[in-house]
Amino acid sequence: MVVYLDHAATTPMIPEAIDAYTDAMRQVGNPASIHSQGQSAKRMLEEAREVIATSLSCDPIEVVLTSGGTESINLALKGIYWKRNVDSARQVILAPGGEHHATIDTLEWLEKHEGAEISWLPLDGDGTVEPAAVERALAEHGPRVALITMLWANNEVGTIQPVTDIAALAAAHDVPLHVDAVAAYGYLPVDFAAVRRDSGSTGGAGLAALSVSAHKIGGPVGIGALVVSRSAQVEPLLHGGGQQRQVRSGTQDVAGTVSFAVAARFAQARLSTESGRLTALRNRVIAGILDAVPTAKLNGATGSNRLPGNAHFAFPGCEGDSLLFLLDMAGVSVSTGSACQAGIPEPSHVLRAMGRDELEARGALRVTLGHSTTDDDIDALIAAVPHAYAQAARAGLSDRKTVLGS
């Protein structure tokens, strides 16, 4: 039996989304075409966009379909930054440490090529962004702030952020906020309208844009969305046929959108029951692992401040990749939370941003649950961990001195 506990990387497509995908792919028609097939494609596309908009509580016109989370985040950060610098110099971007690499690398690119100044905000020990730190940064940089960006929930350690509080600060300072909701979507209510309302966001100030991806909720890889508030301004990354409010040119992916919509509908319909079910399973993971390995530590927030499907641990004295390997050999797929190119493991930048030293950041292991996870999966994980940890701890850290060859 293969036990898949890496749903934050990608979760299995739900059968209904696969069926909808393949059915839609059988139909010809570019939604931009004027003839009947074009109109039929356009109808499928827009019906799907409405479903996606409903799942996010925004208007369909505000849903800009993209190739996925990375493109959405790039479009939001670069697009808003460029627009905000048209009439006045607003070069400061506020961002917490421990963001996803799609954000970090985009911001570093803006810094290097577009003169942006990034003000990295601290995280507390649980990985939470402190609104007071945001407020201080807004006061310090004042009218020079182009935008704020932040995760709704951290993809590695699962900590849920005070999005509404920070949106309120952004609104009060007349600054747009982008939220990366890729990890939160499908697991928490992601209600664009409610956050705007509760934070007093108006026009382009406050919550202005939000990124999601279909394959994290049981839809296909290759499609995602950027919710762009109708009053927010973004400069496009891609130029061409002017599709989607001129914001994202390129022939629209009807089949992908239809499949995305099916996954979104399912995720939304079972959100409340599923979040309770996953929270219970996750609590079993946490209790079981801390019981089996008493020296292990849970990283991130606890209780309702944590994503229902996320458990993230630090195992002292071993490499996360040794644990991952041994669990994989035992038929359990988990993650160290952070892999970079060529699979070279790096100490988690999220844990570093939370103030952990490199040693603690090395033995990181992320277990993420999803719609297909069962009690048996959790039993298998808990049964496999003690032996894997004992062996990984024997192998120790990769920079240890060797006995052989000396």
Partner 1 sequence: MSGGVDSAVAAARAVEAGHEVVGVHLALSRMPGTLRTGSRGCCTIEDSMDAQRAANIIGIPYYVWDFSERFKLDVVDDFIAEYAAGRTPNPCMRCNEKIKFAALLEKALDLGFDAVCTGHYATILTDADGNRELHRASAWAKDQSYVLGVLTAEQIEHSMFPLGATPSKAEVRAEAAERGFSVANKPDSHDICFIPDGDTRGWLADRVGAEKGQILDRTGSVVGSHEGAQAFTVGQRRGLNLGVPDPDGRPRFVLEVRPKTNEVVVGPKEALAIGEIAGSRFTWAGLAPEHPDLAFECDVQIRAHADPVPAVAVVQPHAETGEPELMIRPRTPLDGVAPGQTAVVYVGTRVLGQCTIDRTVSAVPADA
Residues near partner 1, by CB under 8 A: 319, 321-322, 325-326, 328-329, 341-345, 391-392, 394-396, 398-399, 402-406
Nearest-angstrom CA–CA distance, 37 and 403: 71
Q: Give the nearer residue to partner 1 in terms of CB position, either 182 or 351.
A: 351
As a whole number of angstroms, the distance between CA 189 and CA 321 comes to 33
Beta strands in 48-162 (DSSP E): 63-66, 92-96, 117-121, 145-151
CA dihedral sign, ordered 156, 113, 82, 67: negative
User: Looking at beta carbons, which pairs linking 106-111 to residues 24 or more positions away fall under 8 Å?
Assistant: 106/73, 106/74, 106/77, 106/78, 107/77, 107/149, 110/77, 110/78, 110/81
Using CA atoms, how far apart are residues 27 and 48, in angstroms rounded to an integer? 15
Q: Which is nearer to partner 1, 87 or 399 (CB)?
A: 399
- If the CB atoms of residues 281 and 393 are measured against partner 1, the closer one turns out to be 393
Residue 58 a catalytic site member: no
CA 311, CA 288: separation in Å to the nearest integer?
11
Amino acid at 243: Q
Phi-psi region of 57 (alpha: psi -120 to 50; beta: other; left: phi over 0): left
Tell me whether residue 44 or residue 323 sits nearer to partner 1 (CB atom). Answer: 323
- Name the minimum Å distance from CB 331 to partner 1: 12
Catalytic residue among 287, 340, 390, 397: 340
CB of 67 to partner 1, least distance (A): 22
The residue among 35 and 401 lying less far from partner 1, judged by its C-beta, is: 401
* Residue of 191, 142, 152 whose CA lies nearest to 305: 152
CA pair distance 53, 268, nearest whole angstrom: 11
Distance CA(294)–CA(316), nearest Å, equals: 10
Q: What is the dihedral of CA 20, 72, 336, 159, to 10 degrees?
A: -100
Q: Which CB atom, from 273 or from 402, has the smaller least distance to partner 1?
A: 402
Q: What is the nearest approach in angstroms of partner 1 to the Cβ of residue 343?
A: 4
Residues forming the active site: 340
